[in-house]
Structure 1
Amino acid sequence: MSANGRSSNSSTVQSVTIESFVERATPAPEHIAYVIVVKLPVQSWRILRRYSDFASLEKQLQSQPAPQGAGRAAPAQLPPKRAVQHTLSILSRSNTISLQKQLAEGRLPELRAWLKAILDSQDPIWRSSYAFRQFLELPKDAQFQIAQADTSGYSSSSASAGARSSSQASSSMTKGESHAAARTSSAPHSSGGIRRLGARSMEVRETDDTRALDNPDLLASQAAQMDAQDQQLGRLANVLRRQREIGLAINHELAEQSELLQQLDTEVVVMQEKVCKGEDKMKRLGG
């Protein structure tokens, strides 16, 4: 997902969180990707990053001078890379991905703490670097505010104040009323089957599947559809790979059969010559 397609209006980053991790089949081989959610006042998006992407970012921040990097180590240490034993290469794919999931579950809180340390630091040199902004796919004019973040990521002071206000209001509501109010407050502006998104009221045609969804649910639905498409492409790739192997095996078999036919043709020619010579001898003897 490219940042170029997003609005470049001046805005403040409200939150950056590592939501969860997902299993992905493409690009091969199967791997674990962490889901990072970035929220601005009028837009939000999800980014998939592998552990190797976090490690590459940490290296850039430390090795490259500002503004490309920070020229020093991050304020927290990235969880170490735990090498998978060589014996995993003989295990089945399902066992390998299961071990990767267990490893990802252990890394998730450590990656959140690492990201939180950068976002909460009083020194903005890390989060203002080109490498970090590119990692989050931020628009050029998006800005951070220094604030205390929760354990799962980063929240601006305005977002924290809104959370406290919502908490006080929800204390006077029943659980059902609170849930309904939350959905109403986050529901998109729509009219005549057209959804209006962003400060410029970009119009998007609604469908029966999306009309009942608010913006966060719509983003989650799109992410689920993309994951399903990735899985379908992965299965298709496996089928095509198998067909290629079968085609190569058939080609090899045809080559062997062709060689045998050539040998048989040669033997037939030799036998015909012997028969002709035998017939000549019989004629001479009979004459």
Structure 2
Amino acid sequence: MSFAAAKAATSDPIQSVSVPSYTRLTAKPDPHVAYTVAVSLPTRTYSIQQRYSAFAALHHELAASCGAPPPADLPPKHPGSWFLAPLAAARDLTDAQLDERRVGLERWLRAILADRDPRWRSSRAFKDFLAAPPEGNPAGAGAGGPDAGSRDWTATAWTAEHAAVEGSARTLRTTLDRRDAQLLASSSSAHATAKEAKTALVDLVRRIGDLARGLQVLAKDGITDGELQRRSALVQRLQGEVEELGRKAGSGPRAGAGRASANGAAQGGGDEPPTAARQALLGEASAGRAPARVLGAAAAASLETPETRPLDNGGIMQLQQQYMDEQDSKLEALTAALRRQRHLGEMINAELALQEDVLDQLDAGTDRVKGKMKDAQKQMKRL
């Protein structure tokens, strides 16, 4: 393999793809079979569900947009399905027939991914079908995420954004762990790390709200009730995880706790503190002089601020603790907002279940009215 080919292979976010299973979905009014597509990226794996008609539409779109059909043939519809109703065709196929189709779909996807000609796997339609992240962001965990307020939500776009939010949550957990370690070591970068975690937490709350609003758009576009409930459960799980991250962000260790315990163990409790020893050595000449911190020119230009410049080490620790207390109060407000969003999601689920019951009752009532109309027509004919 040449250097250019190797570079192109490593820059491609999709590493492998498979179709490990299928699921029979019997929810009305659109019962069908959904095939699980597992996608492997350089840093994570995820799965989506697509029906056979989506594979067929992608095949035709790739043939039209790329100037040639894909390198492998799509498995055809089973001959017996032509004699069945459109909504019940895949549902009434046997397990052996569905498994044969699953193997064929997997072979079709892998042929596109492994072909030397990259035009099919590089097309936007193929990446949208697999809900792959954009080029340059293989992890799918960008800080800002897509602009949910100005985008058109589709099922694949929603799945990609959900995967990106999950990646951002994992990144935030790593950032909080790093902040805790810096606080225990009394590092001066703990405040910047805590601020970064706070910004990421606010962004996560916003993006989870965008996912909830995206579900409302998908519900209006006609997504099935079962799929809508599954995605609502995913949003609720994300809300619970972010609530836990909010509690973790608000309950960090006190700055310098690890260093203080280490110093106490080293001193043994009976020796004079180092600060007192230094004051005794310096004498009365330095007794009336306020303690100060001496930094180099580069450090002073990059670290010092008007608030920290006149403070000594103790003042810096107090100011840092004050900042942490303020962040704790803001994080508590964010946690309360997350609880409200989770409650709203539960209410949406309850409303969906109620509407489904109402639709079932309406169908039953329609059937009864049709029966009565037929009886009435028969009596009119007799008369």
TM-score (norm 1): 0.46
Of Structure 1 and Structure 2, the greater helix share is in: 2
TM-score (norm 2): 0.36
Which has the higher relative contact order, 1 or 2, with Cα contacts under 8 A spaced 6 or more apart?
1
Of Structure 1 and Structure 2, the greater strand share is in: 1
